[in-house]
Amino acid sequence: MPALNAMHDNEIASRLAALDGWARDASRIVKIYRFANFHETMAFVNALAWISHRSDHHPDLEVGYNSCSVAYTTHDAGGLSTRDFDCAARVDALFDL
């Protein structure tokens, strides 16, 4: 896989504006998804695990009873890359199903 480069602030702001509910937190983007119960939360987490595996790009997750915080960064790039934003869009599409 080709090396990924960290994005510049103006690129990050532009890509972030195209996503719903995601926020920048230093060198990562983060979003909290809310659910009705633990079962729905875990179904989301399991589907996200499959997407992450297929994308070969894995977010940091914080899972609670009715919420899941998803954070993306590209460690190899030393910051945010286009890959983070592409994966964030895939997760949003999953949530909208």
- Domain 9-95 grouped into CATH 3.10.20.70: no
Q: Break the chain into its structural domains and give their ranges.
A: 9-95
Residues 6+ apart with CB under 8 A from 67: 32, 33, 34, 35, 41
Residue 9: predicted pLDDT:
94
Prediction pTM value: 0.92
Give the separation between CA 71 and CA 47, rounded to whole angstroms: 16
Q: Average pLDDT over the chain, rounded to whole? A: 93
